[in-house]
Amino acid sequence: MSFFSALGLAWQIAGDTPGAVIAARAAWATGKGPISALRSFARATEGQVDDEVLAELEAGLRRVLQGLALVVRGAVTLSQALADPRVRQALDQALAGAIEAGFYAGVARATLIRWLEE
């Protein structure tokens, strides 16, 4: 079962079993986090969310957390790099080059359009 299939099933069950949603919210309110809330949700569905679905949802949440950790790490690395004046100077030069290239591309385009209209 894929993560999205498991998520869809849990979504459907949540609509049919309001007690499961209440249990998940109660667990979340204790500050234990999303995995604890998910397990409380699964227990309250009376077997509708089985071990396979629960495992896939937990694995999906862990993958999301890993992805967020990579984004944070990338942002920290980027901010550290941008603190280096040499990096900022290189980016300024690259940006100036890109703007200049865009300008000359616009000039060339205008020239070609004018030629085509003659």
Give the angle 94-99-101 at the CA atoms, nearest 5°: 90
Per-residue pLDDT of the chain (118 residues; tens, 9 = 90+): 788 888 888 888 888 888 999 999 999 999 888 888 888 988 898 888 888 888 998 898 889 989 999 999 999 998 898 889 998 899 999 999 999 999 999 999 999 998 988 7
Domain boundaries, the chain: 3-83, 85-118
Q: How far apart are CA 49 and CA 19, in angstroms?
A: 13
Contacts for 108 with CB less than 8 Å, ≥ 6 apart: none
Which pLDDT score, from 0 to 100, does residue 13 have? Answer: 87
Q: How many CA atoms lie within 13 A of 36 on its CB side?
A: 9
Whole-angstrom CA distances from 19 to 9, 14, 24, 85, 104 are 16, 8, 9, 57, 64
